[in-house]
Amino acid sequence: MTAIDVSHSGPVEKSDHVNVSYYQDGKVKKIKAKTVVVSIGGWVARNIVSDMPERIA
């Protein structure tokens, strides 16, 4: 499984879940999650996490 997009559903401060798109078995799939841990370097995460604050990236 490879994550290809992680973003809040709506404004960050009002969002109650995160949308995660990922690639698995030749297909793109989407899920909603209450919490997400992105355990990769910021230089990679900024390409996957759509609404990551600029100060972190």
Write the pLDDT tens digit of every residue in 11-55: 888 999 999 999 999 999 999 999 999 998 888 888 999 888 777
Instruction: Give domain status of residue 27, yes or no.
Output: yes
Question: Euclidean distance between the first and final Cα of the chain, in Å?
Answer: 23
Helix%, strand%, coil% for the chain, nearest 5 = 5, 40, 55
Q: How far apart are CA 57 and CA 47, in angstroms?
A: 9
Tell me how many domains the chain contains.
1
Domain span at residue 23 reads 2-45
Instruction: Give domain status of residue 50, yes or no.
Output: no
Instruction: Give domain status of residue 56, yes or no.
Output: no
**pLDDT given for residue 57 in this prediction:** 63
Query: Does this model's pTM top 0.75?
Result: yes
CA atoms within 13 A on the CB side of 14: 2
Instruction: Give domain status of residue 53, yes or no.
Output: no
Query: Is residue 5's pLDDT more than 90?
Result: yes
Query: Is residue 1's pLDDT more than 90?
Result: no
